[in-house]
Amino acid sequence: MSSLNAGAAEGDADGQSLKPETWETLVDSVVHGECTPFLGAGVAVPYLPTGGLLAKVLARRYEYPLDDVTNLARVAQYIASSHEPAFVKRRVCAYLERKQRVAERKLGGGLPANHLRLARLGLPIYVTTNYDDYLERAVASITGVQPLVEICRWHDQFESEPGRPARREQSAATPRIFHLHGHLRTPSSLLLTEDDYVDFTVSLAQRNNQKNPMVPLYVRRALANTNLLFIGYSLEDWNFRVLMRHLMKQQKIQPHNARNSISIQLANNRMPPDRRRRAEKFLEVYLKTSSSVDVHWGDAGPFLAELLRRVERSPKPRVAS
């Protein structure tokens, strides 16, 4: 498994870029369908909020009493304790659906550029920790093929609930989208509160070898056999980093066997510059030594635009006759 945490593209405002050999490796893996994107909240900015901004909206609305108002899991846990988990999940889904309707008006009925760029990459598998349906709509729009969408079954109750994709004939031409943290069409599937994260981690450890594992076989194969490209995450996304580390250990993926991985991280511009750089350096060293992930800093939009440009001008692989 290889991981790329992508940062700024060539010529962006920060003046950062991937090394030429990193670009070459990444583009080659995309062209050959051996790259698996993992999408975070930064991909949908500014049309949908990051987890921190969503937490602040909820904290203000429900008078959250603590100082960590950008900690979505904790804010959601507070609301769930005074109401119930289903209540806060329904409220989050309703809020995101409203934001999507506003975005649709701004875009003249179209879709966000980042999701259209991702769809144009033509990859077989996408994994997302976002709740929205932008990516599946973009893939259907660009390819003319309705992707197979699956929700992570991190709790046993989801086996009897709606939202599981229909069993239909699949082919190599059918893209797959796996929602690791749930989907707004099934509010109960959302990985949102602190309790949810505990249950998720327990299930991840216990349900690896069952007939119906929490993470489908095609996703686990992608973890082991493709380059991973994390886009749209931030310094605060530690829950996801811990979960990815756990997945890698379950797959028995060792650093010396890992393929290249990149993470395109969003910088936290609210921090003082010196403190932010120390935090970024810590994350870079941690991910490189623990998971063989190279970290670069920047916005998802410029990076995806540059990646698509390079992919479209790259020679396509020959099809054996």
Q: What is the pLDDT of residue 294?
A: 61
The per-residue pLDDT for 215 is: 84
Question: Which 3 state secondary structure label does DSSP give 230?
Answer: strand
Please, are residues 96 and 58 in contact by the beta-carbon 8 Å criterion?
A: no
> Token pair of 121, please?
């990459």
Q: What is the pLDDT along the chain (321 residues), one digit of tens a residue?
A: 455 555 433 333 333 467 788 889 899 999 999 999 989 998 999 999 999 999 999 999 999 999 999 999 999 999 999 999 999 999 999 999 999 999 999 999 999 999 999 999 999 999 999 999 999 999 999 999 999 999 998 876 665 454 444 444 445 578 999 999 999 999 999 999 999 998 988 887 777 666 667 888 888 888 778 888 888 887 666 666 666 666 666 555 544 455 556 655 555 556 667 765 666 666 666 665 555 566 666 788 999 999 999 999 998 776 554
Structure tokens at 263: 């993470």
Q: What is the pLDDT of residue 8?
A: 35
Task: Provide the pLDDT for residue 146.
Answer: 94
In angstroms, the CA 67 to CA 87 distance is 23
End-to-end CA distance of the chain: 30
Please give the pLDDT value at position 60. Answer: 97
Residue 155: what pLDDT? 79
Closest CA to 58 of 93, 110, 24: 93
Q: In a 3-state reduction of DSSP, which class is residue 246? A: helix
What pLDDT score does 172 carry? 53
